[in-house]
Structure 1
């Protein structure tokens, strides 16, 4: 599966706050969730946002949403994903 550069960059930004020792494992989990939801031939920024939300455990989801909003990402198109992930 091919990844768009914007998608790669966003995923790297999103995992930066995770402690270094846990980052590879967390990134692998998030990538797995992202790849399950990809529609098409390439992973897009929207796929990363959806996967990141879905991969965030219940108590961490609020933190994930704050991080996405801090990056000026409009979560309106992802309301259904936010509801599913709760």
Structure 2
């Protein structure tokens, strides 16, 4: 066998191992989200709970607004992002005892649900829609680490 054939086999082996490692990483992350926490429910259970509890609160206009906001997310991850963001929006709406999901609640929940690095896309999209960002600056100024687990406590301040 030639030297090029040997290199091809080695390259192909590393490529397959790399792809399997990437797939395994994402499968493991999903597995971790399914593990029950102290309250007996997993993160995914809570996400489904908040979405189910607030389904009736969403209007068509609000659904389209959320779709527009998640449009910069790559299509492969968009469903997961939409689920996570919609659940956080629902959680905020329930915390505030709202009857409907408003544009303000969507923006607030979106900011809380997304990491700081994604906020530039949200800012750009909101500026395109001529939405004033001033009321939302406190949420933008928080870092993901500050409101990941105990965002309610930080929110009340």
What is aligned with 1:18? 73
What is aligned with 2:83? 28
Structure 1 residues 32-71: Cα deviation after superposition (integer angstroms, max 9, x where no partner): 1111111212111111111111122121222221222122
More helix by share: 2
What is aligned with 1:41? 99
* 2:120 is equivalent to residue 62 of structure 1: yes
For residue 85 of structure 1, report the CA deviation from its aligned partner: 4.5
Unaligned stretches of 5+ residues in structure 1:
none
Alignment partner of 1:28: what SS? helix
Change (3 A) 1:85 1:47: farther
Alignment partner of 2:142: what SS? helix
* 2:132 is equivalent to residue 74 of structure 1: yes
More strand by share: 1
Query: Higher relative CO (CA 8 A, sep ≥ 6), structure 1 or 2?
Result: 1
Larger radius of gyration: 2
State how many pairs are aligned: 86
Q: CA RMSD in A?
A: 1.6
Task: Give the TM-score normalised by the residue count of structure 2.
Answer: 0.50
Unaligned stretches of 5+ residues in structure 2:
1-53, 145-157
Q: Is the 8 A contact 1:30 1:55 kept in 2?
A: yes
Structure 1 residues 14-34: Cα deviation after superposition (integer angstroms, max 9, x where no partner): 112222111100000101111
What is aligned with 1:4? 59
